[in-house]
Amino acid sequence: MKIAVLGGDGFVGWPTVLHLSNLGHEVHIIDNLSRRWIDTELGVQSLTPMDSIQERCRIWKQETGKTLGFHLIDIARDYYLLRDWLVEHRPDAIIHFAEQRAAPYSMKSDRHKIYTVTNNVNATHNLLTALVETDLDAHLVHLGTMGVYGYSSVGAAIPEGYLDVEITNLEGEKKAMEILYPTRPGSIYHMTKSLDQILFQFYAQNDGLRITDLHQGIVWGTHTDQTRRHPQLINRFDYDGDYGTVLNRFLIQAAIDYPLTVHGTGGQTRAFIHIQDSVRCIELALGDAPERGERVRIFNQMTETHRVRDLAELIAKMTGAKVAYLPNPRKEAAENDLVVKNDKFLALGLEPTTLAEGLLEEVVDVAKKFAHRIDRKRVPAVSAWTKDIATRVEKDPERNRLKSVS
């Protein structure tokens, strides 16, 4: 297949590009490199030393003989470039990773809120309208998030996208209906993924676009089989308070002897998936495309759930790290249960890589190797969800104590 990977320079995009190229597909990366600019804005860098995207593609060619295309396009702003690219290349499938994906970054200020909404919603909508305009019947696979469901504990498993409900009509009869699972995003970033869902529903229904939306949990790990092939194919690894995600952060914190930064009680339960499984799921989703006229196909892309404090305790036991319970900069439930259905990927053949498989150690080893690249001042998460929370967090003695010890 000819596949366009939008956001192919990112943390999940790059290993996906390599995985699909290795399988023999013709892969084209479209990216505006905004994530690299955001590192510059924040004054941080990936834990791992990333080469330019052109150099990464050159090394892949050298190692495998396979060519990767790279096209510098901002899909949120350069609509006509995107449309003309699609006309010229006519891909069979498009994988859409190209959004601002950090919840803390999206909550930093009004500017960051506006950027995240403008970038993400326009990126998705430009792509959808371009597919219609160019009469392109490509299968669109979008990376969404488990966070669209919210984290209320209703004591029922979260289904894969849709919920069966019963509505009482004016005659008092009960009518069955299937709706998108009610969305309850917890940040501006997660809200944009909820808006994406409505855009997909409309374009599938109105124009017959073939769309798969993958509601992915928190991705952890760093290497995949393909990024391991050469030091210059190494993946991005975010550790800072805005872009680093919880499990990867705890692992690097343990590696540099920094207390594990648990927010609140750590009673938040979240869904997780290893990066190797993430790229495999995308392969599986590509092989299971919907028909024209079908509703959007939604998969829950996760393999296990964990409570934040359980993860901290597990890593503390494994490495001897200390755990710091800090005031939570986010507005989120202090404690929640989470049961998630993921039957669809299991039925397609996914064999989950769980925390128990020894890969936690691998991340700690990578972090130790590149520890000299870590700026400890960038480790704390400082983006607060409201002004009141910001004031409370700022005054907290435990947070200030951590500042002085670290």
* Complex with ligand NAD: residue 242 or 309, whichever CB lies closer: 242
CB atoms within 10 A of CB 256: 18
The candidate with the shortest Cα–Cα distance to 106, out of 181, 193, 48, is 193
Residue nearest to ligand NAD (CB): 10
192 is catalytic: no
Region for residue 32 given its phi and psi (left: phi exceeds 0; alpha: psi -120 to 50; beta: otherwise): alpha
Q: CB–CB of 141/297 below 8 Å?
A: no
**Of ligand NAD, ligand USQ, none, which one sits near residue 308, judging by CB under 5 to 8 A according to partner kind?**
ligand USQ
145 is catalytic: yes
CB of residue 32 vs ligand NAD: minimum separation in angstroms?
4
254 makes contact with ligand NAD (CB under 6 A): no
How do 260-263 and 93-96 pair as beta strands?
unpaired
Determine the Cα–Cα distance for residues 325 and 37; give it in Å rounded to an integer: 32
CB of residue 246 vs ligand USQ: minimum separation in angstroms?
3
CB of residue 243 vs ligand NAD: minimum separation in angstroms?
7
161 makes contact with ligand NAD (CB under 6 A): no
* Complex with ligand USQ: residue 11 or 370, whichever CB lies closer: 11
Residues 6+ apart with CB under 8 A from 303: 217, 272, 273, 274, 277, 342, 350, 352, 353, 354
Give the residues lining the site for ligand USQ (CB under 6 A): 101-103, 145-147, 217-218, 245-246, 249, 261-263, 266, 268, 270-271, 308, 328, 330, 332, 381
354 is catalytic: no
Identity of residue 343: D
Of 16, 79, 193, 212, catalytic: 193
CB of residue 68 vs ligand USQ: minimum separation in angstroms?
24
Determine the Cα–Cα distance for residues 21 and 27; give it in Å rounded to an integer: 6
3-state secondary structure of 217: coil
* Complex with ligand NAD: residue 9 or 277, whichever CB lies closer: 9
Q: In sequence order, what are the beta bridge partners of 4? A: 28, 94
**Of ligand NAD, ligand USQ, none, which one sits near residue 192, judging by CB under 5 to 8 A according to partner kind?**
none
Identity of residue 33: L
Residues engaged in binding ligand NAD (CB under 6 A): 7, 9-13, 31-35, 74-76, 97-99, 101, 119, 123, 143, 145, 216, 218-219, 236, 245
